[in-house]
Chain A
Amino acid sequence: MVEEVRDKARELLSAGTVECVIGYERATDGITARPLFAYSPEEADRFILDRTCVHNLARYLLDRKGKPTAVVVKPCDSRTINLLVHENQIERDKVFAIGVTCPGVVEAHWGETTEGLQSRCGSCPLEVPVVYDHLITVPGERQPRTGFPELEKLEAMSPQERLEFWQQQFQRCIRCYACRQVCPGCYCPICFVDQLDPMWVGIKIAPPENQVWHLIRAFHLAGRCIECGECQRVCPVNIPLMLLNQKLTAEVEGMFDFRPGLDAETLPPFATFRKEELEAER
């Protein structure tokens, strides 16, 4: 299957179908993966594909707008393409999606990987990418789904306990914005926290400011998060950001029967209006 990725990449680059193929290569620790941008057929030899290939590479399409690009996408990552096409950020015909089926990915941080899958894989509804131009089947049994066990724990708390839980988490945030930078849905030309005038949020790296950042970040992704889990993976101080995202995912699904990026046709709630929404009481 790795050879299939390499072959496809070589073919696309040799034929000039795309200028660049974005896939994975081995990281410097020898055990995890990192993104590789291949511009020549020779570079395609470096591609790898295994359960440490955690990154959502489709995020890089935002950096290559208008340039013919092929990208390796797992099912979760593939939702990015629908999201960004719906939001008029990328052109579908400039993207060649090399879809790979996914039995789940492990927790992989530089120098260490886990045996077990990432918790978010337990709530992933997909095994096959929702959009692809070429599909590669990765062998491997998928582990059983677990739903959102952590979310259920959180929902069993009282509002006061929940507030304290999140304050505890946000307290150690260092406002590095890795969660934003890695997110395929965070592409505002000027993020609200970077706005100078007016300054919506102060620059202090301190609990009240951190909390405003995280809550607004989460709300801006309501109905838009494609559950790639990158925000949580990259957080240097282990804030469980996917819990917030999953909560909003569940809310939006309950209200609008919509989960973003699953198909190319259904328009997102933010892009539509139905009369019955007027009557929806919350």
Chain B
Amino acid sequence: MSRFLSLDGLLAWLDGLLKEGTVVVAPTLVEGVSLYQPVPAAAEIDLDGGATVLSPKEWLFPQSHTLFTVERRDGAAELKEGTFDGRAVLFGLHPCDALGVHLMDVPFLAEPADASYRERRERTALVGLSCTRCRPECFCTSMGTAPDDPAHLDVMLTPVEGGYAVAAASEKGEALLASAVLEEKAVPLPEPPVPDRLPTEDLPRVFRALFGHAYWGRVADRCIHCNICSYVCPTCYCFDVRDYSRGNTAERVQSWESCQAPGFARIAGGYEPRPSKAAKMRQRFAHKFLYFPEAFDGPLSCTGCGRCVRSCPVNIDIREIIGDLQRIGVSSVGSGEKQD
């Protein structure tokens, strides 16, 4: 026996949460583009969507948000923090995206935690949807999750005939389900799909060994250094901070930024430590497969969602890069082929 929620029951549950004032952030079709957005009604949710173009990270780590505003009045300055004091449900995360949230937690919740991220994270429940099919660019099992993995989620839904099999994966999830009309019945779960596997063994060490390899220059030849890969990625978390000022008020704004952007690494005096196309492109992969695991004791900073594979305009394919590194690593480590 397991718990079952009919499709109507799901919509009623979410509409009930909306009525209570909970923000429901879910995949929605905006002019044909599937994006995570706050929805006004559960019926707006794109339930069959495979993967959104952008990941759900933008709810917890918004594209742009105000850290604080300062207003000068009668000689005194008043500071107001940008806060989120509501409740939210991030709905429809596939296991890869749940892993993405976990990987964002690692840097943002490490002490001293990022206050604004922590606030949103604590006030948001994660409701997942297990995958009944994989896309060609999926490789989640190579990154430590799986199409039916409930890890890091508060509630896990598995699409079955007529509705969803429901599993609460945390206390927060159990509380959230209090308002759902659940049935107890025998629900056979579908066999999870099997995505392609990549050779990720020992990747940080292989990466380190090939850091100066000419390979990077060859892949970077076709890179146009746009920010697409960073912005669609569920784990890229670089940002920029600037002040907007007008009259007596100033606003400090945080916005997404990418290591591929011009001037990203430029420092005082104008020095550019990553001047070549190769160094610039390698940086994104080095962060995921070398610096992140070194800094945070283990995990690769990739979820296998395949969004960058799908969105890259020139087919820089992270799966191919992993495969190439392993292949070159075996054949030429120590051969002294160097660049940069």
Q: Which residues 122-160 of B sit at the A interface, judged by CB distance below 8 A?
A: 135-137
A258 interface residue, CB < 8 Å from B? no
Q: Is the interface of A mostly helix, strand, loop or mixed?
A: loop
A203 interface residue, CB < 8 Å from B? yes
The answer to whether A181 and B226 touch (CB under 8 A), given A34-B314, A190-B262, A203-B240, is yes
Interface residues in B, total, Cβ within 8 A: 45
Interface string of B192-231 (1 = CB under 8 A from A): 0000000000000000000000000010011011111011
Interface string of A164-195 (1 = CB under 8 A from B): 00001100101111101110000000110010
Q: Chain B contacts of A238 at CB under 8 A?
A: 31-33
Candidates A182, A203, A237; contact of B53 at CB < 8 Å: A237
Contact A206 B64, beta carbon cutoff 8 Å? yes
The answer to whether A111 and B137 touch (CB under 8 A), given A35-B314, A174-B231, A205-B64, is yes
List the B residue with the shortest CB-CB distance to A199: B242
Q: How far is the CB of A36 from chain B (nearest CB, A)?
A: 8
Interface string of B226-268 (1 = CB under 8 A from A): 1110111000000010101000000001011110011100000
Q: Chain A contacts of B310 at CB under 8 A?
A: 109-111
Q: Chain B contacts of A177 at CB under 8 A?
A: 226-227, 261
Q: Chain A contacts of B317 at CB under 8 A?
A: 27-28
Q: Chain A contacts of B314 at CB under 8 A?
A: 34-35, 55
Centre residue among B221, B225, B242 by max chain A CB count within 10 A? B221
Contact A234 B313, beta carbon cutoff 8 Å? yes
The answer to whether A203 and B35 touch (CB under 8 A), given A27-B315, A63-B277, A233-B313, is no
A147 to B10, CA, bound (A): 47
Q: Chain B contacts of A204 at CB under 8 A?
A: 64, 244, 253, 255
Q: Which 5 A-B pairs have the closest CB atoms?
A: A178-B226, A34-B315, A234-B313, A205-B63, A176-B227
17 further interface pairs, Cβ-Cβ under 8 Å (given A203-B255, A234-B224): A27-B315, A29-B136, A29-B315, A32-B315, A55-B313, A63-B221, A110-B137, A168-B31, A169-B31, A176-B231, A177-B261, A182-B226, A190-B263, A205-B255, A236-B231, A237-B33, A237-B53
Q: Which residues 12-51 of A sit at the B interface, judged by CB distance below 8 A?
A: 27-29, 32, 34-37
